[in-house]
Amino acid sequence: MAILINRDSRIVVQGLGRSGLLHAQSCRDYGSAIVAGVTPGKGGSSVDGIPVFDTVAEAVCSEGATVSMIFVPPPAAADAILEAADAGIELAVCIAEGIPVRDMVQVKRALQEGTMRLIGPNCPGIITPGQCKVGIMPGAIHRPGSVGVVSRSGTLTYEVVQQLSDAGLGQSTCVGIGGDPIIGSGFIDMLQLFNEDPATESVFVIGEIGGSAEEEAAVWIQRHMRKPVAAFIAGVTAPPGKRMGHAGAIISGGKGLAGDKIAILKACGVQVATSPARMAEALLSALTP
């Protein structure tokens, strides 16, 4: 088993332009079922064997799409997310970066009344190794296994996956939740799914400065998690008030410090890696009785 996606997932690509097509082809080469693309005004055509529709609703009706991969430019991405939800898509993965915060506030509110789950925006996507990839991550470094990975950082996701694979620790599903201030699904959402997934035996969490999501996840882990958890927090040396990469990675008002996040994770029983080069080592320590 896995969480969110598997070999039965049927993917529609919203925004089948140059970038969308490139990554759709990569996902298809990995084995994902790319069943449709959506580009308004281009309905009835096809691109590299992928049928194109004017709307997501048409793609769902014609091709049975269940998952949307969104490459729509930021100014229109919020509308694309809402269109996917209205069409009955079960899971939307929004890769786009730079969606206005006000737009995402409206999206977040609208999705609370529906059933579609959103991953992202500003994320690398999701992969269930050996079954399905939805996003931009390099599939070759992943190996099927029992470690769940959830991360705010795309690059560090790739790093921990490479370390895990090199150590013989395959992954059940890897999820990049995104680094924007407002995202669809957070750490706790993914931890709940991993906690209930029989194929996931341990979890690695990658957090970073800014916000309080990691602290909230630490408390949830202490209270509810039945599986070993290890973590790494990026941004230990980040100066206050300076954005570090992601829009959400900023220390403001003395809150969101890496040291505070690390301290509460440790206090809640999470094994925390001391450097990005020792992430797999931290998980191995967490797995040792």
Q: Which residues are the active-site residues?
A: 246
> For 62-191, where are the E strands, in sequence order?
67-70, 91-94, 117-119, 125-128, 132-135, 144-151, 171-176
Rounded distance between C-alpha atoms, residue 181 and residue 211, angstroms: 8
Question: Which three-class secondary structure state does DSSP give residue 227?
Answer: coil
User: What is the token pair recorded at 202?
Assistant: 């341990």
Q: Is 205 left (phi over 0), alpha (psi -120 to 50) or beta?
A: beta
What is the DSSP code string of 253-278?
A: TTBS-HHHHHHHHHHTT-EE-SSGGG
Token pair 């003395």 is at which residue? 254
| H or E stretch covering 131 | none
CB 190 within 8 A of CB 231: no
Cβ neighbours for 192, distance < 8 A, ≥ 6 positions apart: 224
Beta-carbon contacts of residue 112 (< 8 Å; ≥ 6 apart):
none
